[in-house]
Structure 1
Amino acid sequence: MDSDQLRATVLGFLGAFAVLGGLLYLVGVGDLLDVLRGASLEMVGFVVLATLGWLVAWSVALRTVLGVLGIRLSVVRSFLVFSGAMFSNNVTPFGQAGGEPITALLIATVADTEYERGLAAIASVDTLNFVPSITLALVGAAYFATETTFGTRLQFATGVVVALALLVPAIVYLGWRNRYALEHRAIAVFVPAIRRVARLLPVFSAPTEAAVESRIGHFFGAIERVAGDRTGIAVSLGASTLGWVLQMVALYLAFLAIGQPVPFSAMLFVVPMGAIAGVTPLPGGTGGIEAVLVAVLAALPSVSISASAALGAVVIYRGAVYWVPVIIGGTVVSVIGADSVS
Structure 2
Amino acid sequence: MDSGQLRATVVGFLGAFAVLGALLYLVGVGDLVEVLRGASVETVALVIVATLGWLAAWSIALRTVLGVLGVRLSVVRSFLVFSGAMFSNNVTPFGQAGGEPVTALLISKVANTEYERGLAAIASVDTLNFVPSVTLALVGAAYFATEVTFGTRLRVATGVVVALALLVPGAVYLGWRNRYALEDRVVAAVVPGVRRVARALPVFSAPTEESVESRIGHFFGAIERVATDRTGVALSLAASTLGWVFQMIALYLAFVAVDQPVPFSAMLFVVPMGAIAGVTPLPGGAGGIEAVLVAVLAALPSVSVSASVALAAVVIYRGAVFWVPVAIGGVVVSVVGADSVG
- TM-score calculated relative to the size of structure 2: 1.00
- Counterpart residue number, 2:85: 85
Which stretches in structure 1 are left out of the alignment for 5+ residues?
A: none
- The residue aligned with 1:64 is 64
Following TM superposition, by how much is the alpha carbon of 1:240 offset from its aligned partner in structure 2, in angstroms? 0.2
Q: Which residue is equivalent to 1:2?
A: 2
* Cα separation, 1, equivalents of 2:105 and 2:189: 23
Counterpart AA for 1:8:
A
Q: What is the match of residue 311 of structure 2?
A: 311
- The alignment's C-alpha RMSD in Å is 0.4
Q: TM-score, normalised by structure 1?
A: 1.00
Give the aligned residue type for 1:6.
L
Unaligned stretches of 5+ residues in structure 2: none
SS of 1:160 mapped into structure 2: helix
Aligned ranges 1:253-292 → 2 under 5 Å = 253-292=253-292
Instruction: Please identify, of 202-211 and 3-12, the stretch whose mean Cα deviation from structure 2 is larger.
Output: 202-211
Partner amino acid for 2:145?
A
Q: 2:96 matched to which residue of 1?
A: 96
Q: CA deviation at 1:28?
A: 0.4
Structure 1 match to 2:242? 242
| Aligned-partner SS, 1:262 | coil
Cα deviation for residue 199 of structure 1 reads: 1.5
Distance in 2, matches of 1:57 and 1:265, equals 21
Q: CA deviation at 1:112?
A: 0.2
Correspondence list, 1:23-62, <5 A: 23-62=23-62
Give 2:232's aligned residue.
232
Distance 1:38 1:196 in 2: 60
Taking the aligned partners of 2:200 and 2:257, their CA distance within structure 1 comes to: 56
* Helix, strand or coil at the partner of 2:262: coil
Tell me the distance in 2 between the aligned counterparts of 1:273 and 1:301.
Answer: 16
Write the letter of the residue equivalent to 1:298. Answer: A
Return the offset for 1:164: 0.2
What is the percentage of aligned positions where both structures have the same residue?
Answer: 85
2-side partners of 1:37 and 1:204: how far apart?
A: 56
Runs of 4+ in 1 over 6 A off after TM superposition: none
Deviation at 1:132, TM superposition (A): 0.1
Write the deviation string for residues 70-95 of structure 1: whole angstroms up to 9, x where unpaired: 00000000000000000000000000
| AA of the residue aligned to 1:95 | G
d(CA) in 1 for partners of 2:93 and 2:80?
22
Code of the aligned partner of 1:330:
G
Q: How far off is 1:271 after superposition? A: 0.1
Tell me which residue corresponds to 1:140: 140
What's 2:321 paired with? 321
Deviation at 1:204, TM superposition (A): 2.7
Measure the CA separation in 1 of the matches of 2:196 and 2:287: 38
Instruction: Kindly provide the amino acid, as one letter, of the partner of residue 10 in structure 1.
Output: V
Instruction: Give the letter aligned to residue 316 of structure 2.
Output: I
Find the counterpart in structure 1 of residue 339 from structure 2: 339
Per the TM alignment, residue 30 of structure 1 is displaced from its structure 2 partner at its CA by: 0.4
Aligned residues: 342
> How far apart in 2 are the matches of 1:227 and 1:273?
26
Alignment of 1:107-186 (within 5 A): 107-186=107-186
SS in 1 for 2:141: helix
Distance across 2 between alignment mates of 1:122 and 1:202: 32
Q: Distance in 2 between matches of 1:107 and 1:327?
A: 18
Distance (whole Å) between structure 2 residues aligned to residue 15 and residue 331 of structure 1: 25
SS of the equivalent of 2:323 reads helix
Choose 230-239 or 190-199, whichever is displaced more: 190-199
